[in-house]
Structure 1
């Protein structure tokens, strides 16, 4: 902080030296930019496009895993036991070339159960997991 004294009026004039403040601000800006790059994490998923007349996907080729509260899992409306989910998905996807699964979870379902189902599907060899939004 620099101060000048004197002058014609005989009082002191206080001036703030802005250079150190700008240096600190630039250093903080650089630190925040570097830290921000390290904080970007997430789950890579694909959400199917909303259905319309031109982009209708054939429902027979898609496999949809529906998750309901209480451990009620259904693969294309066929019941599947939660404990045998990875084995059942492995058997279904063994002969398929396109390993895509859509997961539809109930709104009241805990997030951990959806992630456990996604992990089980990855363990079964599913390459692409799409989360179906509520309709």
Structure 2
């Protein structure tokens, strides 16, 4: 009795096809899917609340935009006047209390992200809710 060389030892005179299904690829795919679910489920559970504006009546008054600029070197300017981040809270509080005021932020393309993040933290602490970030040109 001679054996054919294959993954399974089958006698050479055995002419019937193998009736079993190779389940190894199926198990491999199922294990990959299981790992993907284990990785993605915690990301779906953790959520970051984002306050979205609610639709309401159109504002009767025209808003006055105030421009906050972050330069490439990290310098901050509010309406064309240089302001330090520490002193920015005062003018932002005045803008927060004015119902017609809106803040627009423009950042230089070469500015560091850290400068932007620190400025946004000051804006957030000041309680500015009417905010627009202008795109880089």
Q: TM-score, normalised by structure 2?
A: 0.63
Distance in 2, matches of 1:131 and 1:38, equals 31
Are positions 1:31 and 2:24 aligned together? Answer: no
Q: Deviations over 1:65-84 (max 9, x none)?
A: 10113442122223322221
Change (3 A) 1:23 1:103: same
Listed one character per residue, the Cα deviations across residues 86-116 of structure 1 (whole Å, up to 9, x for unaligned) are: 2321222123267x53221112211011011
C-alpha spacing 1:39/1:93, structure 2 compared with 1 (3 Å): same
Q: Which sections of structure 1, spanning at least 5 residues, go unmatched?
A: 11-15, 47-57
Structure 1 stretch 33-42 or stretch 101-110: which is displaced more?
33-42
Calculate the aligned-residue CA RMSD, in Å: 3.6
Judged with a 3 Å threshold, the aligned counterparts in structure 2 of structure 1 residues 106 and 38 are, in CA distance, closer, same or farther, namely farther
Cα distance in 1 between the residues matched to 2:131 and 2:40: 27
Tell me by how many angstroms 1:19 deviates: 1.3
CA shift, 1:4, in A, is: 4.7
* Change over 3 Å in CA distance of 1:94–1:34 after alignment to 2: farther
Q: Which runs of 5+ in 2 are unaligned?
A: 1-6, 53-61
Give, in whole Å, the separation in 2 of the partners of 1:130 and 1:34: 38
Greater gyration radius = 2
Pick 1 or 2: higher relative contact order, CA cutoff 8 A, min separation 6.
1
* Deviations 1:14-70, CA, capped at 9 Å, x for gaps: xx963133223222223224423545889x7x9xxxxxxxxxxx7x62222101134
Within 5 Å, give how 1:113-132 maps onto structure 2: 113-132=115-134
